[in-house]
Structure formats: C-alpha cells, structure tokens
Amino acid sequence: MTAAPNKTIVEFRGATFSLPTAATPIIDALNLTVSSGEILILLGESGCGKTTTLKLINRLLAPTSGQVMVEGKLTTDWDAIELRRHIGYVIQEGGLFPHFTIERNVGLVPELLGWANDRRIARVRELLQMVGLEPDKFIDRYPRELSGGQRQRVGVARALAADPPLLLLDEPFGALDPLTRASVQKEFAELTRRMDKTTVLVTHDVREALLLGDRIALMDAGKIVLLETPAGFQRSDNPKARAYVETLLMEQAVDKE
Amino acid sequence: MQAFIVMSWTFLQHNWPELLLLTKQHIGLVSASILVAVLIGVPTGILLTRYRALHNPVLGIANIMQTIPSLALFGLLIPLPFIGGIGWRTALVALVLYSLLPIIRNTVTGILGVDTNVREAAVAMGMTGGQILRQVELPLAMGVIITGVRIATVIAVGVTTIAAAVGAGGLGVYIFRGLRQYDNNLLLSGAIASALLALIADFLLGLLEQRFSLEKKNRGLSLKQKSLLAGILLIVALGVFASLRTQRSATSATDAGQVTIASKDFTESILLAEIISQLLEARGVTVQRRFELGGNLPHEALLSGEADLYPEYTGTAFTAILHHDPITDPRAVYDQTKKEYEDKLNLELSPPLGFENTFAILVRGNDARRLRLTTISDAVPQAPQWRAGLGQDFMSRADGYPGFSKAYGLKFAEVREMDLSLTYIALASNKVDLIAGNSTEGRIAKLDLVQLQDDRHYFPPYEAVYIVRRDSLSRSQILREVIKMVGNRITTDEMRELNYEVDGDKKDVKEVVRHWIISRKL
C-alpha cells in the first residue's frame, strides 16, 4: 500500500434513498466512509440495498435525503458526466456493448476523454495484457465471441481504462462458473493490490468478501449491520455474519471430503 | 393464352417508354416520401422514448392516419393551402403521413429494446445523452428501425398507385386507365410493375436489415455490403431526382404562353381535353396536360389556378357543383350555369360543343324495328315482359331510376343492377332487353343499338362545354379563338365514333384526335 493513508474518498452521511411508491426506504440513513486505497466489500442478500448504495456513488441515483460525497464533494455538485468518467464501473457479464469490438469497448472512456488514437490503442493492449487476454487475439473480436470469463475480464479492463482512482464493481464475478470465478477473483485481488485503487465491491459471496476485502460492510434492509475486517468478520457474534461464516465452513467441509 | 402473350408483347413494345416513365415517377414518389418520413419519423420516435407522455397521443395520431382510406386522405388534402392541390405535392404529403407510423413505432421499439444493462453501462461510463443515442441506442436499434422503413416502403409502393387519382403520375395511371377501358394489358402491366417494385424494395431493404442485425454483424461492412448500401442509395437518389424533375416541369402552370389543360378520368373527357390541347399546340402555345384526374379534381384545379381549362357537362355543373335540383330545359340550364359560374366562381363556360352525353335509354335495333319503337313511351307496354340492365350510378342518383320509372310509369319484369360498361354487351347478347347507357358510348352503333327519345323530357341536359378560368381567357388571345372554333363542331355521332376508336379499337388518343382535327380542317 503506497497511498496516503486515511484520505476519505467516498463518504455517506445519513444518506437515504427511497422510491415514491414504496413505504420503506431502500437505503436507510446510511453512514459509511471509504478510504483511499481500500477495498470495501458490500455484502448482503438480494434486495438489501447494496447495489443501490453503489449507484449512489456514481450518481446513477441521487439520495432522497442525506449526503453522498466523492473526494469531499457532494455527488449532486459534481458534473455527472465528469464524475462517472472519474469512476470505473463493472457490472455482471461486463455490460459490454455488443456492437463494439473489444478494442472499442475497452477504449471507450479514453475515446470519450479525447485521447489520441495511438495512445488509446496502446492503453487497450496494455490493459488486455494486464487482465490476461492476449491483445492480438482478442482486440478485434466482438463480446459474443468471448466466453463469460473473458467478457468479465474485458469488463474490468474497460473500467480501468482511463486509470480512475475509484472502482465500483457490482457482483462482477457472479455469472461465472465456480472454477473460472476462483481464478478471476485471485487475479483481481493481485491486480487491485498492485494498482492501489480505492474499490467498492458488491457481492453476496462471503468467500469473495473474505478473499478480497480490507473491510466488509454487511448490509440488511438498507442499513449496515456490521462493518469489520475479514478477521473481525469471522470472529463476530452478529447472527447474520455467523450464518455466512457457517455456510463457508460447511462448504469447506464438503471440499475436504 | 398464346394470343394473350403475343398481344401483351406487342403492347409492351409500344408502351415501353411510357411504362418506364411511370415506373420512374413511382420510384421517385416512394423514395422521396420514405426519405421525408424517415427524416421526420426517426427523430419523432427518439423524442417519444425521451418523453413517454407523448408516446400514446403521437402514436395514436399516426395510427389514425393509417386507417384513413388512401383515396379519402388524398381527397382531404386537396383543398388545403400549400400542401394541398393536385399532383406531386399532395401525393407526397399523403404518402409521408402513411409511412410515419411504422417508422416511428419501430424507432421507439428498437430504442426501448436496447438491453438495460448496456444502457446503464453507457451512462456509468460517463457518456452524454447524445453519445448514448448515437453510439449505443441507434446502432443497436438500427435493425428494428430498418424493418419499419421496409414495412413503410412496401405500403408506400401500394398506396402510390392511388396517387394517380390526384394527378401525381406513377404506375396507378395504367391501373386506373386499364380499369376504365377494360384493358387487361394496361391493368396488368401497371399492377405487375408495382408488385415487382414492392418485392424488389422488400428484398433490398431485407438485405440491409440483415446486415444491421447483430447476429450477422462482423468486422465492419464488407465490400458486398458497401455496394448494396451504395446501390440502394443510388436508386433513392435517382428516384428523388427523377420526381423532382417531373415536378419542376409540372409547376408554373400559369406562365404566359403556357396553358394547363385538365380532364376527368374517362375517355370522352380525355379526348375533349386532347382536342383543345392539340389545337393550342398547333398555334404555338405550350400545353401542360393534367389529364385523368378523379372526381371533382379538375374543378378544384381550376379554382386553385393549377389548371386553366377542362371539359365538363352543363347538367353536372348545374347539379353537382352548383347544387341545384335538375331541370330539363337545356337553354335554361346552360344560361343559369354560365351566369353563376361567372358571378360566383370567376369561371367561363364555352359555347356548347354540339353534343350531349346524357343517359340514353337503349334497346336492340331488331326490337326497335319489329315493334316500331322510337320513344320511351312506346316501350312502356313492352316493359312488363322485359328485363332492364342498369348501372349502379343510374340506380342511385337523383335523376336516375326511381324518378325515371315513375315519370314514364315503367314496370319491368326484372331490374338487374350491373356494371355500366357490361350492360351494352348484355343487351346485345339478349341477356337484358333495355339499358340506360351513355348517349355518346362508342359501341351503340357497333352493336346495332337504338336510343329511344326522351319524349317526356325527363333527363336533365348534359351538354358538353369547356370550363375556363376567366383570367386565362383574358391573358391568351389564342385560347379565346380556339374555344370559339370548336363551338358546336362535335356531333353526338362523331363523339361516339371517337370514343369507339379509343375504347373499342384501342387506338392512341393523340392519334385519334390528330386525325379528327385534320378531317374537320380545324
């Protein structure tokens, strides 16, 4: 870790998000800070509000009350376009553009930022190499010509293209088969440590959370019920956390047999 | 069958240049209207995806446009200023209105059909609204949008045949003319050519659609795809160019030294219009022919200044345009019509041309001679044993069958309502015994039919005249002279002969008129 410690990159101050049609808020007065260089995991079951939390950061959504700040500035004060180009975003299956080649997909944000062609292509090749895809082989392909795991790597490469200081990942490895998932997770862990990005990652896979996270925020019904390091999480007597850890132990028992 | 093929072949040989011209006009109208419809429809569709509240009202209106029968839509547009009138412009507006619905709807469907994950990724990448539209939504929706254009084009090829009724040209000219003259060669060549156009357009746009559908998409456009695209663009460009050219030559009707002659859409009206046209041309006047206009269009064209002259019948002007009840005195009808046309419409009636085209009560020559029939009253005692064959028009109009049968106290054994043109053959072949035909029908003499005199003067007079704009008359000395020249020069027998040469002998109208002018030393 080389970044200046403890510089706050993302901060939620009593942020609430609710839909006009629903009685209970999706995010309920959330307080959270993410520091520079940290990997924060948002862990929870479907519908607990973890994806919504993520979308509040790059202003795909704006809080109905309270505040969300990125680099000390309210997301609503940011120019939305500038804010988003400043943040890498990876979703399940990569959310790649089916009509773009891998080169255009990965080089999209540099292209939007007006990089020169040579510099952009060099960057695309560098990134493909970094996520373990042979540039010459993949650069001219279309997303549908790739396997799920390859698409996911391209999604990560695309998010990293303009070297954003902040990365948001929404169940990035959810659609992969277990073997591919394990290897991609490992590569990703190495990659993020090496690159020193501030990262918020959403998952419902406790193994992934423990493997990748510096801290784990366990969410339930729009609130953070536990915020711990992986070691602290495994020791916690929070019933939800214990349920997660127990399923993990059961899986390991099966693995051993 | 073989005879038919040979006949069709000679027909095609003779009519090839005209068929080609009509096809070009057809392609021009379709291309221009689809081009305009895309330029309006795609942005409208995009707008609807951004403002959902507009979605239902706008698509509702476009939907209603499509449910209006095409002929009615053309009719509704004619009286409108700027976009209305007769000819190319009206047809273009109507075709665009027809083409909008599939294009708008498919644009909306295509854009809304873009995977939400992909759209969200585009937003999250920091693409602006315009970038998302141009780089993500439109390319991904393109296949569906082209499907809409394809549907619209095929519809437009069909609807364009109706455009002939408002004088916009195209293959419909042959279809309408073929229907009128019972000429299958005309009918089929018009119909087959337009069907072929529809198939070709469908095929080409189908290829284009395939290229844009995602599954087949590969590395950029291949040479073959590029040439396909270029080919389609070339056809569209040529079509638009051709129609612009015809349109340019069709405008400026009221220039000095140029006269625009209109006609209704039946042979006699076309002949009378051609007569005046050739007489003018022989005297150095440039004539613009706007023939074969449906319904009241020639009258509308005169009122709007798009034409200077057309042939009409006093009875029609008196009842259908001035809305008077029919009266029987020819002098009174002519005088009153002339006066009201001058006062109310600023139009002039020429002197009568010399013949009437009224309902003619016809019987077989044999019967007339055997039973010594000369008047309708003579036939009344025979009627209870007779079958009458009457056209739909005669059965329904104010001066038709109900009043007629009452005026003479006629009771037939049977009354058959049939197509007017078929009644002559039905009478000649003993299928019926009395018909109500047109007095100038060419086949009357050929089939040895005899017209019974209207001794009770039931039928209103339908004297042939020319209707002329008064400002055209004051502008052109030659026009005044020519109109005077033909006054009282055409007899009923002559008109029958002329009609027969065109409808019966299938001779060319221009040839027929040329010979007549020479024979009458005009």
Which of A163, A195, A212 is a domain's end point?
A163
Asked if residue A3 belongs to a domain, the reply is: no
For A133-144, what is each residue's pLDDT tens digit?
Answer: 899 999 999 999
Q: Which residues of chain B have a CB within 8 Å of the CB of A93?
A: 117
Q: Which residues of chain A have a CB within 8 Å of the CB of B219?
A: 101, 140
Is there a single domain that holds both residue A66 and residue A144? no
The CA distance from B67 to B48, in Å, is 21
Burial of A22 (0-12, 13-18, 19+ CB in 10 A): exposed
- Enumerate residues 6+ apart whose C-beta is below 8 A from B143: B110, B209, B212, B213, B214
Q: Do A93 and B117 touch (CB under 8 A)?
A: yes
Predicted confidence at residue A35, as pLDDT, reads 92
Q: Do A140 and B124 touch (CB under 8 A)?
A: no
Rg (Cα) of chain A, in Å, rounded?
18
B213/A contact by beta carbon, under 8 A? no
Instruction: Tell me which chain B residue has its CA closest to the CA of residue A102.
Output: B219
Q: Which 3 state secondary structure label does DSSP give B306?
A: coil
How many residues belong to chain B? 522
Asked if residue A127 belongs to a domain, the reply is: yes
Is there a single domain that holds both residue A68 and residue A110? no
Which of A107, A131, A163 is a domain's end point?
A163
B116/A contact by beta carbon, under 8 A? no
Asked if residue A70 belongs to a domain, the reply is: yes
The CA distance from B506 to A75, in Å, is 82
> Contact at 8 Å (CB) between A170 and A87?
no
Predicted confidence at residue A23, as pLDDT, reads 81
Is there a single domain that holds both residue A21 and residue A134? no
Rounded to a whole number, what is the distance in angstroms from the first to the last CA of chain B?
44
Q: Using CB atoms, which residue from B115, B124, B126 is nearest to A112?
A: B126
Asked if residue A91 belongs to a domain, the reply is: no
Predicted confidence at residue B6, as pLDDT, reads 66
Q: Do B131 and A82 touch (CB under 8 A)?
A: no
Q: Are strands B258-264 and B286-293 parallel, antiparallel or unpaired?
A: parallel
> Which structure tokens are listed for A106?
């990965």
Q: Do B121 and A96 touch (CB under 8 A)?
A: yes
Element (DSSP H or E) covering residue B347 = strand B347-349
Predicted confidence at residue B164, as pLDDT, reads 84
> Which structure tokens are listed for B358?
């009224």
Instruction: Tell me which chain A residue has its CA closest to the CA of residue B214.
Output: A99
A140/B contact by beta carbon, under 8 A? yes
Q: Using CB atoms, which residue from A83, A91, A140 is nearest to B121?
A: A91
Which of A146, A163, A180 is a domain's end point?
A163
> Contact at 8 Å (CB) between B59 and B136?
no
Is there a single domain that holds both residue A109 and residue A57? no
Q: Using CB atoms, which residue from A58, A93, A99 is nearest to B217?
A: A99
What's the domain count of chain A?
Answer: 2
Whether A22 shows a pLDDT value over 90: the answer reads no
Predicted confidence at residue B249, as pLDDT, reads 47
- Listed residue (A168, A152, A24) closest to A88, CA to CA: A168
Is there a single domain that holds both residue A108 and residue A177? no
Asked if residue A92 belongs to a domain, the reply is: no
Is there a single domain that holds both residue A156 and residue A102? yes
Instruction: Tell me which chain A residue has its CA closest to the CA of residue B117.
Output: A95
Asked if residue A151 belongs to a domain, the reply is: yes
**Can you tell me the mean pLDDT for A208-229?**
92
> Contact at 8 Å (CB) between B73 and B94?
yes
- The answer to whether the Cα torsion of A6, A10, A15, A16 is positive or negative is negative
Is there a single domain that holds both residue A130 and residue A16? no
Confidence (pTM): 0.72
Q: Which residues of chain A have a CB within 8 Å of the CB of B218?
A: 142
A58/B contact by beta carbon, under 8 A? yes
Asked if residue A176 belongs to a domain, the reply is: yes
Is there a single domain that holds both residue A18 and residue A78? yes
Is there a single domain that holds both residue A154 and residue A76? no
The DSSP secondary-structure symbol of A95 reads G
The CA distance from A195 to B354, in Å, is 102
Burial of B201 (0-12, 13-18, 19+ CB in 10 A): buried
Question: For testing the chain B interface, which of A52, A83, A89 should be mutated: the one with the most B CBs within 10 Å?
Answer: A89
Whether A250 shows a pLDDT value over 90: the answer reads no
- Residue for token digits 């000819």? B87
Q: Which domains does chain B have, with CATH numbers?
A: 35-248 (1.10.3720.10), 258-356+462-519 (3.40.190.10), 359-452 (3.40.190.120)
Show the domain range for A240: 8-86+165-256
Q: Do A95 and B121 touch (CB under 8 A)?
A: yes
Query: Would you give per-residue pLDDT tens digits along chain B (522 residues)?
Result: 566 666 677 888 888 888 999 999 999 999 999 999 999 999 999 999 999 888 889 888 888 888 888 777 877 777 777 766 677 888 899 899 989 999 999 999 999 999 888 999 999 999 999 999 999 999 999 999 999 999 999 999 999 998 887 778 899 988 888 876 667 888 889 999 999 999 999 999 988 888 777 554 554 556 676 777 777 777 777 766 666 655 544 444 444 578 999 998 888 999 999 999 999 999 989 999 988 887 778 898 898 888 999 999 998 899 888 888 888 888 999 999 999 999 999 999 999 999 989 889 999 999 999 999 999 999 999 999 999 999 877 887 777 888 899 889 999 999 988 878 788 888 999 999 999 988 888 888 888 999 999 998 888 889 999 999 999 998 888 999 999 999 999 998 899 999 999 888 888 899 999 999 999 888
Which residues does residue B286 pair with via DSSP β-bridges, in sequence order?
A: B258
Q: At how many degrees (to 10) do helices B184-212 and B138-160 cross?
A: 180
- The answer to whether the Cα torsion of B500, B505, B508, B512 is positive or negative is negative
Is there a single domain that holds both residue A82 and residue A170? yes
Question: For testing the chain B interface, which of A52, A70, A78, A97 should be mutated: the one with the most B CBs within 10 Å?
Answer: A97
For A36-75, what is each residue's pLDDT tens digit?
Answer: 989 999 999 888 999 999 999 999 999 999 999 999 999 9
- Listed residue (A127, A151, A162) closest to B126, CA to CA: A162
Predicted confidence at residue B450, as pLDDT, reads 93
How far are the Cα atoms of A103, A213, B492 from residue A30, in angstroms, in the given order?
39, 20, 99
Q: Do A84 and B214 touch (CB under 8 A)?
A: no
Burial of A34 (0-12, 13-18, 19+ CB in 10 A): buried
Pairs from B61-66 (Cβ < 8 Å, separation ≥ 24): B62/B100, B62/B101, B62/B104, B62/B105, B63/B101, B65/B97, B65/B98, B65/B100, B65/B101, B66/B98, B66/B101
The CA distance from A200 to B489, in Å, is 99
Strands of the sheet containing B359-364, edge to edge, are B414-418, B387-391, B434-438, B359-364, B449-452
**Can you tell me the mean pLDDT for A11-34?**
90
How far are the Cα atoms of B333, B388, B446, B455 from residue B365, in angstroms, in the given order?
32, 16, 11, 19
Instruction: Tell me which chain B residue has its CA closest to the CA of residue A97.
Output: B118
Predicted confidence at residue B254, as pLDDT, reads 44
CATH number, position A47: 3.40.50.300
Higher-confidence position of B348 and A252: B348
The number of CA neighbours under 13 Å toward the Cβ of A185 is: 22
Counts of helices then strands in chain B (DSSP H, E): 24, 10
Q: Using CB atoms, which residue from B118, B131, B139 is nearest to A112?
A: B131
A92/B contact by beta carbon, under 8 A? yes
Is there a single domain that holds both residue A120 and residue A227? no
Is there a single domain that holds both residue A116 and residue A70? no
Asked if residue A222 belongs to a domain, the reply is: yes
The CA distance from A95 to A103, in Å, is 15
